[in-house]
Amino acid sequence: MHRRTPRVLVVEDDERVRKVIEYTLGPQGFDVHSVTSGGDALDRLRHRRYDVLILDRRLPDMDGLRVLRDLPEDDLPTIIVSGRATERDRIEGLGAGADDYVVKPFSPLELVARVKALLRRTDREPRIRWLDHGALVVDLDRRGVTVDGRVVELTAREFDLLAFLAARPGKTFTRDDLLREVWDSGVRFQDPSTVTEHVRRLRLKIEADPAAPRWLVTQRAVGYRFEP
């Protein structure tokens, strides 16, 4: 089971509140991204995956509830943070699909606790479903790969090799390591050039310039690593 830093999108146009959330969640082990409008939030969510959405109800371009209704991912765990504190407001927010509702002003540490509780409840914290490296996204559930939004067709072994390396960015593996981890084999049973050939094919499919790869990098006299 793979683990990674949970990614949180904060949608808040009040700079002071936004900074409080960023500065509180960051040191607690979250990868925090922020936008200031509903339109920017929806655009970001169409192109990147997040584990939790923290959403202000009152945004400069639209009601936060509209953002909830238009989410491209129906099951995205969401916490509304709002100055609207009436029972009706809470019911509206939760009825629109939010999982939790926090009233401003709020305790930053309480917000952290609520985010962690929401992740535990929705079972999204421990399991990685995709590897998002910006232009390159590896969907582990569907075994799909996209580069700049373009679907890349890979063989089963090519996908396994890319997924293994992309899940461990910055770490160099020898060809023997990769034979053992990806092929469940070793140099006694399989030629290490098998790894070399698969890396070559992957570069042709995912790299803009296979001769000067951005992601699949060769560590001379050692092996290969993935650079995010």
Q: Across the chain, what does the average pLDDT equal?
A: 88
pTM for the model stands at 0.56
**C-beta of residue 77 within 8 angstroms of C-beta of residue 124:** yes
- DSSP characters for 7-51? EEEEE-S-HHHHHHHHHHHGGGT-EEEEESSHHHHHHHHHHS--S
Q: How far apart are CA 20 and CA 99, in angstroms?
A: 21
Residues linked to residue 152 through DSSP beta bridges, in sequence order: 145
Tell me the pLDDT of the chain (228 aa) as tens digits: 345 678 899 999 999 999 999 999 998 889 899 999 999 999 988 878 888 999 999 999 999 999 998 988 767 899 999 988 888 888 888 888 888 999 999 899 899 999 988 888 766 444 557 888 989 999 887 889 999 999 999 998 999 999 999 989 999 999 999 998 888 776 667 788 899 999 999 999 999 999 999 999 999 989 999 998
3-state secondary structure of 145: strand
Q: How far apart are CA 172 and CA 189, in angstroms?
A: 22
Domains of the chain: 7-122 (3.40.50.2300), 130-226 (1.10.10.10)
Determine how β-strand 216-219 pairs with β-strand 223-226.
Answer: antiparallel
Q: How confident is the model at residue 147, as a pLDDT?
A: 95
Q: How confident is the model at residue 123, as a pLDDT?
A: 60
Q: How far apart are CA 18 and CA 6, in angstroms?
A: 18
Q: How confident is the model at residue 85, as a pLDDT?
A: 84
